[in-house]
Amino acid sequence: MRRFIFFILLVSIPFILTAQDIDITKADFSGAVLSIAGPDMIYIRGMVIEGAPVSILIRADDPEGNRWKLADVFTGGQDYSPESLSLEFASVKALSAGEVEISGIFLGGKPYSAGFRLLPPDTAEISRLLAPGKLDDDFNGKVSRVFGTLVTDEIAKYEARIADLEKAVRDGETSLADLSAKNRDLQVELVKLGDDITAKDGRISSLTKDLAALQAAAENTEGTNMSLDLAVDDVSRKLKETEDAKTALEKRAGELESRREELNLQKTAAEKQTED
């Protein structure tokens, strides 16, 4: 947003370039930062022109502020003011009839204060250079006034994000519980299928023995014995049906095992998502 406002400002301000001959059209503003440098000046740092870092100071050229001119140019490591300097929270108070203190000056993230002695008719003399200061009692109020809307909006975004994450966790836990229940049901069915397959194996073994005995008896009987032939056919049919049933059970068990593996993968993914 800051860069957007800065871009609009650059487009709307008619610059008067000085003899320093800075071609604004060749400037890269992607990393530029805008600062107020006084009642009628704006400082822009972080521009890049033809690969070189450049900062500029522009000043209002008429009382209405409709026309601006390039006041100064800073190249290389030069800077009009430290980038970490912040005066948004500065306040002034009188220490005596002729001396004032400016506190709430932030430099490099730390608070400082400075003292000035007022000399008639219109001179201010530094009585105390920047010294480590402390936050005044109204600091939180100043933060709210300066960044109130921004902070409120960011808090609202974070709270909405937290609510979304909490819902995702609840959904993940519900999904985990559902997957665990399905997994248990599949395990129960697999155990039952295993028992059924074991029973079919026993039945096949028994029918195989019966069939072998009947076939041996038929071979040892002279002539044709209709009843033995019918018995052999009946046992053969039952054996075939039992083997087919076992094959179907084994196929079903394979499908359930594949489904269980799929559920386990889904459960692992849901657990990871919940942890994240």
pLDDT in tens, 51-89: 888 888 888 887 776 788 888 887 766 666 666 677 766
**Domain extents in the chain:** 2-75, 85-136, 160-275
Q: Token digits for 195?
A: 């028992």
Q: What is the pTM of this model?
A: 0.35
Q: Specify whether the CB–CB gap between 206 and 235 falls below 8 A.
A: no
Can you tell me the mean pLDDT for 122-131? 73
Task: Give the span between the Cα atoms of 271 and 250, in whole angstroms.
Answer: 31
Helix/strand/coil for 251: helix
pLDDT tens for 178-211 read 877 887 888 888 888 888 888 888 888 888 888 7
Q: Specify whether the CB–CB gap between 27 and 48 falls below 8 A.
A: yes
If pLDDT is split at 50, 70 and 90, which confidence band does 21 have? low
E strands, the chain, in order:
15-16, 27-28, 33-38, 41-49, 52-60, 68-75, 85-86, 91-96, 99-107, 110-119, 123-132
pLDDT tens for 214-271 read 777 777 665 556 677 777 788 888 888 888 888 888 888 888 888 878 877 777 777 7
